Amino acid sequence: MILRSLITKVIVSTTLVLFIAIGISWWIHMRIYEDQLMDEVRDKLETVLNTAESSISKSMRIGKTDDTQNILELVNSHMKERSAVRIFHPDGIIVKSTNLKETGKKINDERMSAYKKGISEIVVEGSPGRTLNLTKPIKNIRECFLCHGETSNSIGILEAEISLDLMDSKVREARQLSNLSAFVISLGLSLFIFLLLFIIVIKPLSKLSRKMALAEDGDLTVRSDLGKGDEIGKLGHSFDSMIERLQEARMELEKYHFQQLERADRLASVGELASGIAHEIKNPLAGIAGAMQIFSREFKHDKKKSFIIKEILQQIARLDKSVKDLLNYASPSMSEFSMTDLNSIVEKALFFVTQQPNAKEIKVIKKFSKALPKVNADEKQIQQVLLNLFLNALNAMEGEGELNILTFMNDNDEVVLEVKDNGKGIPKKEMAKLFQPFYTSRVEGTGLGLSISKRIVEQHGGNIRIKSRLGEGTSVKVILPIDGSQKEH
């Protein structure tokens, strides 16, 4: 869990970068220091070579060739480190040397190979330690022609050797000191970065995290209290804004929920009242209808009275339908589910609708999917839904227009019935009220058609979606699952 923390990742990565940067700086510093020490040793050795060569040349010019050994030893005596100065023949045989034991011996192959390649400087790894060896040819001058002839350009090779033990010791000490200082600096900077991150990042983020936990538990009165102007302060400000909006949304939801509860109570009361009134009206209405039918037979030869009785019977039928709608809404019948062909239900509902007088000038276009699977549904209830939708479409087109009916499968493997008309459309302000009980924009009707239809479809596990534009028409989609079953609401 610690390694997953953002703060830990930042600290570890920052410390790692810091160590790498200090390590690179340390390596460069040590290389520069080592090169400086090597330059000092090289300068000292070149001074020895130049002094020895000058003294030997001078002795040869005045004919004192026997002073060569003394010159080598005198020059070498000024060296504090372990060193040696020698002269060897081009074939590798040592002629003169401050180390008398090696006189007459041959120099090692490494140094001889370097000389033949023209390399005048070489570091030799020896058993006592490393040494720096510099070579310089002794030129054959006029004074030397008598002894060495005129054919050779050089009469020997002057070599100076100095131990690098003192330099290596200084480098080791410098490395130890640099390692210690680099570690201390890295540790100090890491602690400083940690404290800085703790004050600037960890502490405010931890505070914000605690506030978010309280908000998650439902306390929407919390605030971040981060008064900074940096990114964390902006994050706290965004958190406060989000909490304020959530608090406002909660208050709105509580208000809406309370309103819905009040409305539900009112609707329940209205439903009970409507059911009682419907039962009280239904029986007398049936008696009045029967009596009017008897009167219609007695006055069948009186056209004026027959017309009045016919109008009364039509109004009684309208009232009877309204009563039935009220009873169906208040006490819905039990559903009888079976595997049903939706296309067949649509055809039956269309047959009844097309017999209406206002359907004569309506052009019906059917696009049914032949591969539509059967749905588990109550055929009578679904037919009631379709009749409501078809009649609404006819009323919207006012007896003239085009009615499109489509059935198909959507991407969620659900059966979809779409009813589209090119009527006058529905205003936006009325869209939210369409499924409210007793709401209607027409003079006739109870306003229960869509409400009952919505309840039936939801009992089948589906839903209804309505889209409409003024002057263009309305589209209603009834979406049903294939294996839908009755749900309690």
Q: How confident is the model at residue 278 (pLDDT cuts 50, 70, 90)?
A: low
Proportion of the chain above pLDDT 70, given as a percent: 81
Which DSSP string do the residues of 249-291 spell out, in sequence order?
HHHHHHHHHHHHHHHHHHHHHHHHHHHHHHHHHHHHHHHHHHH
**Which of 382, 391, 387, 384 lies closest to 341 in space, CA to CA?**
382
DSSP-derived letter for residue 445 is S
Distance CA 163, CA 133 (A): 9
Q: Which CATH architecture has domain 333-481?
A: 2-Layer Sandwich (3.30)
For the stretch 435-451, pLDDT in tens is 776 666 665 555 667 88
Q: How high is the pLDDT of residue 199?
A: 82
Find how far residue 304's CA is from the centre of its chain: 81
Give the best-scoring range by mean pLDDT among 12-16, 142-146, 379-383.
Answer: 379-383
Q: What is the pTM of this model?
A: 0.43
Question: SS3 of 187, please?
Answer: helix
**φ, ψ (nearest 5 deg) of residue 158:** -90, 130
Distance CA 218, CA 318 (A): 53
Which amino acid is present at 183? F
Residue 167 pLDDT greater than 80, yes or no: yes
Residue 334 pLDDT greater than 70, yes or no: no
Superfamily of domain 6-170: PAS domain (3.30.450.20)
**φ, ψ (nearest 5 deg) of residue 139:** -70, 145
Q: How high is the pLDDT of residue 357?
A: 73
Which single residue is written with the structure tokens 């600037």?
A: 200
Find how far residue 26's CA is from the centre of its chain: 40
Asked if 264 and 309 touch (Cβ cutoff 8 Å), the reply is no
For the stretch 64-80, pLDDT in tens is 666 778 888 888 887 87
Q: Where are the domains of the chain?
A: 6-170, 220-331, 333-481
Token duo for residue 292: 């009017």
Which single residue is written with the structure tokens 């239809």?
A: 453
DSSP-derived letter for residue 333 is P
Token duo for residue 472: 């263009």
Which single residue is written with the structure tokens 């059967």?
A: 374
Q: Which CATH architecture has domain 220-331?
A: Orthogonal Bundle (1.10)
Asked if 155 and 144 touch (Cβ cutoff 8 Å), the reply is yes
Token duo for residue 244: 């304020």
* 406 against 301, higher pLDDT: 406
Residue 488 pLDDT greater than 50, yes or no: no
Distance CA 433, CA 451 (A): 10
